[in-house]
Each structure stands twice: as structure tokens, then as C-alpha cells.
Amino acid sequence: MKTIYAVTGNAGKRESIQKALADLPIKIEMVDPDLHNIMEPQHADVEVVAKSKAMQAWQKIKKPLIVEDGGFHLKAFNDFPGAYSKPVWETLGLDGFVKLMSGVEDRRCFFKGALCYVDEKGQQHLFEEENHGMFSNSISNPHPKQWSDAWRVFKPEGFDKNMSDMTEAEFEGYRLSRENAETSRWKRLREHLLNE
């Protein structure tokens, strides 16, 4: 059975990667980027960040691997913070984002995700997607599977509730519908892996 290394220290991302690829004849091993001194470059584009981290990881372990990176984008602020989401969320916090959006009419927002798969020859394959929704007027309680506090204010398209308010069944339905959509980065990655 083929082994692919998922490079992430984020528990939520680890679970997502394992679930998204669970139906493939592939063993997923986790690699903590901090243990290998894999640095996250400061760049506005999540694709550039994912590709940089993937190449750093490849140079360290020389095995097939996956790096996922994402950003939260606010349309009213020219897609800010984007790939800078993690440091901005750590600086502003949820309350800061709520204040930033106070009185803002355009509440459209989206998550952009980029998956970079590096094959056994060291060649990169990039898969991206966007998941759109609205910045909610209400703040929800934390969700045990959340990657960030953005879940507490993100209302996905087609839902009348924030992500962190979803029941387990609703969340699984939402996750599966995204992963199986034609635009899904996970679906395109699975198809690529099956055709290697």
C-alpha cells in the first residue's frame, strides 16, 4: 500500500485529510512541519504558500506528500486577510473581526483552499477551490472540529446557520457535498492519485 505524508500540525486539517482520502488504498502518515523546520512564507496567495511548504517538506523527507493551506477572505475588504488569515486571526481575534465587519453591508466571504501534492519524483500538483458564504451577524459557540474561529461567523451558501452551529449530520453532509463537487480540490486530488 502506498504511503503519503500529510504535512500539518493542525488537528482539524489532519482529520479532514484522513477522511477525504479514506476510500483510497493509501496509508496517510502525519508529519509535523515544526519538527522539520518547515517555514510558512508570508504571501497573499494560498497557492504560493502551499507550494513553498510542499517543496520544503519534499527536500526534507523525499517522499510523496500533501500540504494544504487556506485563507479566509472578506469581499468588502478586497479579500483580506486571505493567506494571512492565521496571524490576523491571532492578532484581531474573533471580536476584532466582528468589530471590523460592524456596519459593513457587503458580508460576502469565502474560504479558499489549496492542496499541493508532491509525487514520488518531486513533481508538484496543485488543486484549489473556494467555498463561499456570508459573514454572520451572530457569533456561535466553538465547534470541536473547527480549524479557526471563522467557523463561528461563517454561514455557508445554502445554510441558514453558521458552520459551528451545524449538527454532526449537517456538518458531514456539507463536508461530503463539498468534497464530491466537481470543483472540489479533494475530488480532483483523489482522481489524480487513482490515475497515477
Residues with catalytic roles: 69
The alpha carbon dihedral of 53, 74, 91, 8 has a sign of negative
Strand 26-31 relative to strand 65-74, pairing: unpaired
Determine the Cα–Cα distance for residues 162 and 25; give it in Å rounded to an integer: 34
> Nearest 5 degrees, angle CA 85-CA 15-CA 162?
55
Are 127 and 115 spatial neighbours (Cβ–Cβ below 8 Å)?
A: yes
Cell of 106: 457587503
Determine the Cα–Cα distance for residues 14 and 28; give it in Å rounded to an integer: 9
